[in-house]
Amino acid sequence: MTQTTNFTFTRGQSIKAIITLERLSNDNLPYNSLTNPYVPVNLTGCTAQMMWRKTVDSSSVILDASTTNGRLTITDPSSGKINLILTPVMTEVLSIKGESIEYGYDLEVIDTSLDKTYPIAGTITLVKDFTR
C-alpha cells in the first residue's frame, strides 16, 4: 500500500531527506502504546527511483532521483533507510521565476526479483525564499 507523504522545501536549499520505509510486523501481536507494530523494510540488493512531474500524466520529468544517478542512496539497507540528496543549484532551477511550485512524485523500489513497489507518493512543494 502506498502511503501519502508530502514534502516542502525552500528553493535554493540543500536537501538531504532521510526516508525510512517500514511495514507492519508479521507477528500479529496486539498493538499497544509500548510496542511498535512496524519493522523496517529490508532494502538489501534493492534499487530506488523517484521522479517529479508537474502532473501524473505529464511526459516531462522535472527531476529524476535514483540510486543510479546518486540522488538517492540506500544508506542502511537493513533499516529501510533511503536518502534523497539535492544541491542548492538543483532546487533553485526547479522553481519557476521564483514562485512557489508543486510537483507530484512517487518512490519506486525494485527488489532483487525485479518486483516493483511504490511505498510512498505525494507532493513536493518548493517555496520562495525571503532571504536572497
Look up the domain containing 121 and give its range: 3-127
Query: In the prediction, which pLDDT does 38 show?
Result: 79
Contact indicator for 126, 9 with CB cutoff of 8 Å:
yes
Which cell is 51 given? Answer: 521522479
Query: In the prediction, which pLDDT does 16 show?
Result: 92
HSE-up of residue 44 (Cα within 13 Å, Cβ side): 4
Q: 10 Å Cβ neighbour count for 26? A: 7
Q: What is the pTM of this model?
A: 0.83
pLDDT in tens, the chain (132 residues): 788 999 998 888 899 999 999 887 765 555 444 566 778 899 999 999 999 999 999 999 989 999 999 999 999 999 999 999 999 888 887 766 667 889 999 999 999 999 999 999 999 998 887 776
**How many domains, in total, are found in the chain?**
1
For 21-71, list the strands marked E by DSSP: 22-24, 38-40, 47-53, 63-66
Query: In the prediction, which pLDDT does 36 show?
Result: 64
132 occurs within a structural domain: no
The enclosing H or E element of 119 equals strand 116-127
Q: Which CATH number belongs to the domain containing residue 75 in this structure?
A: 2.60.40.10
Is 41 buried (19+), middle (13-18) or exposed (0-12) by CB count in 10 A? buried
29 occurs within a structural domain: yes
